[in-house]
Structure 1
Amino acid sequence: MNPVRGIALKVTAIALFSVMAALIKATADSVPPGQAVFFRSFFAMIVILVWLAQRGELQSGLKAQNKMGHVWRGLIGTSAMAMNFAALGMLPLPEVTAIGFTAPLLTVIFAAMFLGEEVRAFRLTAVGVGLVGVVIVLWPRLTIFEDSPEATVATLGVMLVLGSAVFRALAQIHIRQLVQTDQTSAIVFYFSLTATCLSLLTLPFGWVVPGLDVIAMLVTAGLIGGVAQIMLTSCYRFAPASVVAPFDYASMLFALLIGYVWFDEIPTAAMLVGASIVILAGVMIIWRERQLGLKRGKARPNVTPQG
């Protein structure tokens, strides 16, 4: 174990994902979300294949035991990605990031519903606190009674981010099941493959021939996404999940910085307050998961993570 290296990989991955989101946002006026999903997934898949080949794991790392599990994970994850990419063209980057923090809160609820995990008062309270923060972020955008194109676009963007959060939480539930039978490399690769194939189905619905600058940004987004995914996967080899998980919220800092420098987006007070509350709730859940993990470890010292 090397926690410092694990944390460094996690923070770097989060920073790269933030840059990737900014590149997608910068091209949102030029290409439809389905086309952006194709570039993001196809070029990430190439990076993942090269990485596996260099490690000598190209054959073993791509064995799929739960084939239908990969299909469902791909369908759900691709839906989440497409919704998020569409929302990036409608809302400021920091707001998309803040509202996206709804996903880990929903994962707690879905784990209880679909996996039978026990969720006690502490975590339910943390989820409730987090949802209050989400409402604070959303409230200025829920202008359903304001009749203007800008208000309509903003409201649609909010709905898309929330939809993306729901699907991302569902994807996490499927991943928790997939890791029991398949390697992480296979899960990452087959998601990219499925997303690439599904994105091609949107070809008849408005794909364009963008300029070279837009193509360069989309290809870069895909390559960066692939590298970030590898770093995210690798960080867990050097540090426990409970150690690196809180650094997910560094994405808020990167989103604020990139939004301000690149897109001239000034964060509102409501967004900052709401995001802070959501982050606090997320850290509470992570802390509780760590405490429960330590208790389980003391009770079952000889049980493997797969057990």
Structure 2
Amino acid sequence: MSQSKTTLGILFMLAFCVLAPIMDAFAKATPAEIPVTQILAARFAVQVIVLLPLALTMGLSLRMPLRDAGLHLARAAALVLATALFFTALRAMPIADAISIFFVEPFILTLMGALFLREPVGWRRLTACAVGFGGALLVIRPSFGDLGLVAMLPLGTALMFSIYMLMTRSMSQRMEPIVLQGHTALAACVLVFPPLIVMDGSGAALWDPVWPTGFARWSLLGVGIVATVSHLFLTFALRFAPAGTIAPLQYLEIVGATVIGYLAFDDFPTPLTFVGIAIIVGAGLYVFERERRLEQQQDTPPPLP
């Protein structure tokens, strides 16, 4: 892979790290009377409207084997639940705190890969996972005292997103990324829209949709557009640069979240939260480095006899 393509991939990843917290800010700023499920509907509907026509314009086939339909629904269900938990947490928590807790996801993914995919995991990475979870507890503890179980929701997001990523690992090998994301968004709409239609007027806090007015229209549109564009950037980042090169850059999302949270909501992490963030980032970077070294060892041919 050429150096110019790798540089382009890094730039796409940096753009993702800037845009992703903006999507979270739109979700957090959406008026409380709009249920979280309606925010999800807007987020995935815009993604379908943008990605599927884009795939056709690029000459990509949208055909999907019937055997993959259930996998798309399961993958979408994991992503919908992960996003719902995170958006719910954002209504009560600072963006930087929620994202910091979510970044235990690489550790959960490492452990799940060992349990379900029989991927080898040594004691060093297990120790790094334990240290990373300890850093997350430092972020959770003050929030838990103020918010209760709401502070645990980003952990649920990390768990469900890990399941989503495990499924993505296998499905991405046989599908174009844009088509895969488009089908996932379509499956998410199939899961989210029917309950919203059926529960309209029921008074159920989670499922009764509200006709958006004023700023709510723009915030819902903003969630959908920024989510779609940011994940396209992430897709192209992974296409142009090795995953091991760009994955550590994702921690810059915490920086973007801190800046946006302060400018938009006057939220700023406490000193203890900063310590927890530093521990999570340090442990995460160690896990990425270990993965990179193992990949290099596997790619190195054995010495000639």
The alignment's TM-score, normalised by the length of structure 2, stands at: 0.90
Tell me which moved more, 255-264 or 188-197: 188-197
CA distance in 2, matches of 1:83, 1:266: 22
CA distance in 1, matches of 2:97, 2:194: 29
Q: Does 2:218 match 1:230? A: no
CA distance in 2, matches of 1:139, 1:207: 34
CA distance in 2, matches of 1:253, 1:202: 36
Amino acid at match of 1:286: F
Q: 2:38 aligns with which of 35, 50, 60?
A: 35
Alignment of 1:118-267 (within 5 A): 118-143=120-145, 151=146, 154-203=147-196, 204=199, 205-267=207-269
CA distance in 1, matches of 2:254, 2:70: 34
Tell me which moved more, 181-190 or 257-266: 181-190
Change (3 A) 1:185 1:125: same
**Runs of at least 5 residues in structure 2 that lack an aligned partner in the other structure:** 200-206
Change (3 A) 1:30 1:15: farther
Change (3 A) 1:223 1:62: farther
CA distance in 2, matches of 1:86, 1:202: 18
Does structure 1 conserve the Cα–Cα contact (< 8 Å) formed by 2:93 and 2:143?
no
CA distance in 1, matches of 2:259, 2:102: 17
RMSD: 1.6
The 4+ residue runs of structure 1 with deviation greater than 3 A are 61-65
Report how far residue 271 of structure 1 moved.
1.1
CA distance in 2, matches of 1:168, 1:10: 19
CA distance in 2, matches of 1:239, 1:53: 25
Q: 2:6 aligns with which of 3, 28, 35?
A: 3
**Runs of at least 5 residues in structure 1 that lack an aligned partner in the other structure:** 144-150, 301-307
Change (3 A) 1:71 1:179: same
Match of 2:293 in 1: 291
Cα deviation 1:126-160 (Å, max 9, x = unaligned)? 111101100111111222xxxxxxx3xx2232122
Match of 1:49 in 2: 52
Q: Secondary structure at the match of 2:239?
A: coil
Report how far residue 62 of structure 1 moved.
4.9
Does structure 2 conserve the Cα–Cα contact (< 8 Å) formed by 1:66 and 1:182?
no
Q: How many residues align?
A: 289
Q: Secondary structure at the match of 1:142?
A: helix
Amino acid at match of 1:296: Q
Report how far residue 183 of structure 1 moved.
2.9
CA distance in 1, matches of 2:224, 2:166: 25
Amino acid at match of 1:187: L
Q: In percent, how many aligned pairs have the same letter? A: 29
Does structure 2 conserve the Cα–Cα contact (< 8 Å) formed by 1:93 and 1:259?
yes
Q: 1:78 aligns with which of 54, 76, 80?
A: 80
Cα deviation 1:53-105 (Å, max 9, x = unaligned)? 33222x2x553463322121111111111111111101111111111101111
Does structure 1 conserve the Cα–Cα contact (< 8 Å) formed by 2:51 and 2:179?
no
Amino acid at match of 1:275: I
Report how far residue 292 of structure 1 moved.
0.8
